[in-house]
Amino acid sequence: MGRSKFEAWKCMNKFQCCVNLSPQPHYPSMTRYPKGTKKEVVVVEKPGSESKAVFSVMGMTCSACAGFVEKAIKHLPGIREAFVDVLNDKALVLYHPAMVNKERICEAIEDAGFESKPIDEESNDTSSQICRIHIKGMTCTSCSSTVESALQTIHGVQKARVALATEEAEICYDPNIVSHNQLMETIGDVGFEAILISTGEHISKIEFKIVGILNEQSISAIEHSLKALAGVEIIDIYPHINKITITYKPYMTGPRTFIQVIESTGSACFRAVIFPNKGGRETHRQEEIKRYFKFFIWSLALTIPVFLTSMVLMYIPGVKHVLDMKVVNMLNIGLLLRWEFCTPVQFIIGMRFYIGSYKALRNGSANMDVLVALGTNAAYFYSVYVVARAAFSKDFKGSDFFETSAMLISFILLGKYLEVLAKGKTSQAIAKLMDLTPDTATLLTQDDEGNVISEQQIDSRLVHKNDVIKIVPGAKVASDGLVIWGKSHINESMITGEATPVAKREGDMVIGGTVNENGVLHVKVTRVGSESALSQIVRLVESAQMAKAPVQKLADHISKYFVPLVILLSISTWFSWFLAGQLHAYPKSWIPSSMNSFELALQFGISVMVIACPCALGLATPTAVMVGTGVGATQGVLIKGGKALESAHKVNCIVFDKTGTLTVGKPVVVATKLFKNMSLQDFYQFVAAAEVNSEHPIGKAIVEHAKKTAEYNEQNHPLPEASHFVSVSGHGVRAIVKNKEIMVGNKKLMLDHNIGISVDAVEMLAEAENRAQTGILVSLDGEIAGVLAVSDPLKPDAKQIISILNSMKIRSIMVTGDNWGTANSIARQAGIETVIAEAQPEAKAIKVKDLQSSGYTVAMVGDGINDSPALVAADVGMAIGAGTDIAIEAADIVLMKSNLEDIIIAIDLAKKTFSRIGLNYIWALGYNLLAIPIAAGVLYPFTRFRLPPWIAGAAMAASSVTVVCSSLLLKNYKRPKMLDNLDINGIKIG
């Protein structure tokens, strides 16, 4: 698999949802193509041996998605090869038509969670964009499924994901066909309120308060001036609150420019300040919490009198006499009061259930609102019937259920209030990440020579790209940037989870939100707003929380039939008890003195209807995944969604790369031997010129050593120019330097180019291998010029981590492109028995597939470009955080700290999360399986125990809260105790 394939895995800026982490230091960076890559996949097809088909694959957002699709296709029989192009939403498949057809391939892609159909190869419709929308009013999985279905039917929408737990939709669509406004209108038509969060990647939004008198003329002038700025996307003005919202591209313009434009418009009579409300998801959540609390308080205030007049005051002699006083015929004061207090609860406070039911039924589905509306209406209107009969009859005696209706609504509102309160806590990890950015920044003004002229405190949201900011000791870094002056140590634990402060000096990168320990730094801002590392991490966690785990398909499938089944059971329960009463199938003593057989049957029917809870089932998986991925982020383990979690908890075999994974990843040249009559300085000039374009750690080590040996610097003595550079993946590099062909690499590279290797060179290689060093051959114009010995020591914790994995019954294998001698030596030190050396990238991927076919669930841990095919082929790809961008994008899990112990944490966290999901399902399904029969009265003939509808409603509300609280317990996750005694360089890590 050549590098050209990697191009198909890359996420461009417009579609990037995954975090990319650059090698030094550990933080996300913009995607880039590795040197030497091409943008096309070329397939050589043998005529007649197989067929070729191209499929559209809608919904892929990153290389991890492409990996899922490729795995799904390749698991089918008869597939020779599959190439997935995430940039163009396509998959090219070579297959044997006698064993598999296009329809089966489409099914496999759809089973992986994506939409697919065969397309004509000439089709070139690739325009796509992502928007995120907050959706108010969803109550259960039926609601989210309805919205998702409505969005997916829109022409131009390629993929829509709606998450109930986060109350958000992530929609991939063609902006040339449909706009985000049309998407929001569709959500509104379905019956829910839509609030736009974002309309694409690397688009920022800021709100200003305009101080001054706004009129139509001034509004028009301000809008016209702002629209003239490059990078401004959308302008929304709200004159009634003097607010203006600007959506813009942060790499083209910024908020200080907007302030200057606004304040210079209209004879400088306006002043712009950042709007005090932060807005965003947390504000919507707080508004929802306040709304439910207000509804509950009003409902409670009106329900208490209903409850007292029906269940308490009737036992107080004096008060009972007053309540029993007749108004008209048999209509007494108590019944009239209950009707008056219950009616506003039913129709004003309970209006949300009517609206929700209408919208659901209009769209051909049924949700929790339907159950509540049916149950409360049955109780209320039967009670109204009792009122009417009592008012027009002189001898009618019947019981009302007004307290059932009012108390049912009150308890359900209390449950919803507690549920949104708890659900808000499931996304606290994101909230904490977003709060890391400091409120202010110190902006420096410099002259042309770099001298500081002045400094001022500004709001951190006003920082622009290329600004220079000052970071004092103890202060947070305001934005990502490059240190241009000063030395210090930065605590990056809040981003990477790594507790040890990282030394920073001129030329090093710093991450926004990290804390400066000591020393003053001047930092040139390189990325702001949505481009920043923190924003990209937040997006990854948000995207992971949006993604549905495969196990959630069970809940979605059950939810489709749940509400109709409950309604059928409720009617059957009522009819069975009513019929039994009419046929005198049970003794009259079973009927309470305050009601008749019809009323008893009605209570059983209502109880069944309101005790069933589809919400608990729908929340079981997403809430646990939300908390699990959030906890992982705080531990420095970035997990790309529920599927990665689900696969990780089954892992029983781990394939390790060597360089940078098991070893420190910072190799150094320890010996050099020349076989050609030339100076050491000239030799290293040739080697460094060839290796300077390499991204391999060994190549970088050689360049660093050459700098010291040849005593050159880039300004005064630059390296010779290298042309025709080619990186031979897994073998080395070759180039033309000073009209000489130079090759730097392993023995196979030389043999492939018919270059003879002398006995002395072979002995040098063998000696290096015995010392666990890597021997690198250098040839000039077809002759061996020298050998380099490069040492890359084993990570201090590697042996103990392998031992812990063995105790967990997880097999460890090392696969490396290095020579056999070095590989065996490192493997012996680490305690790994199975070793595969001199493996090309394709061989790594083939080994992973062989293990999978043997029944293993395989995790691949790597950090280099040559690990990407294996990372994608594995059930779970784990990328070391200090690795290359392309390896990280191909992975399912990113280990930010680059510590091997995080492998244990990732697997353990996955096991704990899925254990919690299992517990949630047991509770949600078990609750309904037990509660519905009890509510239907199966215990009544034996124990006279029955659940009144208001108690059933309280139980239903409590079940959802229980599931969410169960997921929240994951926040108490602690890393495995087996890691507490991890010994690194003689220091025990606790």
Residues tagged active-site: 657
Q: Are 800 and 982 contacting, i.e. CB atoms less than 8 angstroms apart?
A: yes
Asked whether 914 and 645 are in contact (CB, 8 A), the reply is yes
8 A C-beta contact, residue 545 and residue 526 = no
Largest Cα–Cα distance of the chain, in whole Å? 125
Strand partners, 456: 443
**Any idea of the CA torsion for 620, 622, 628, 633, to the nearest 10 degrees?**
-170
Cα angle 134-137-143, degrees, rounded to a multiple of 5 = 95
> 331 CB contacts (<8 Å, ≥6 apart)?
387, 390, 391
Does residue 211 sit in helix, strand or coil? strand
Question: What b/e string do you get for 798-834 counting C-beta neighbours within 10 Å, with b at 16 or more?
Answer: bbbbbebbeeeebbbbbbbbbbebbbbbbbebbebee
The DSSP string of 825-843 is HHHHHHT--EEE-S--HHH
User: Which of 199, 259, 249 shows the shortest CA–CA distance to 225?
Assistant: 259
How far is 346 from 189, CA to CA, in rounded Å? 25
Rounded Cα–Cα distance for residues 500 and 490 (Å): 9
CA–CA separation, 899 vs 662, rounded Å? 9
Q: What is the DSSP letter of 699?
A: H
Contact yes or no for 521/479 (Cβ under 8 A): no
Number of H helices and number of E strands within the chain? 32, 40
Q: What are residue 658's phi and psi, to 5 degrees?
A: -95, -65
The C-alpha angle with vertex 275 and arms to 273 and 281, in degrees rounded to 5, equals 150
Amino acid letter for position 508: D
Angle, helix 901-936 to helix 949-968, in steps of 10 degrees: 170
Cis peptide before 25 (omega within 30 of 0): yes
Cα separation of 324 and 318, whole Å? 10
Cα within 13 Å of Cα(82), Cβ side: 29
Report the distance separating Cα 229 and Cα 799, nearest Å.
58
Q: Is the separation of the CB atoms in 797 and 985 below 8 Å?
A: no
- DSSP letter assigned to residue 92: E
C-alpha dihedral sign at 304, 305, 309, 310: negative
* Nearest partner of 541 among 427, 648, 619, 620, judged by Cα: 427
Question: Backbone phi, then psi, for 340, in 5-degree steps?
Answer: -65, -40
Are the beta carbons of 895 and 903 closer than 8 angstroms?
yes
β-bridge pairing 168-173 and 129-136: antiparallel
What secondary structure letter does DSSP report for 452? E
Sheet architecture: strand order including 193-198: 157-163, 168-173, 129-136, 193-198
| Alpha carbon separation from 124 to 54, 128, 913 (Å, rounded) | 12, 12, 41
Helix (H) or strand (E) holding 310: helix 281-311
φ, ψ of residue 612 to 5 degrees: the values are -65, 140
By residue count, the chain amounts to: 990
* DSSP code for 78: T
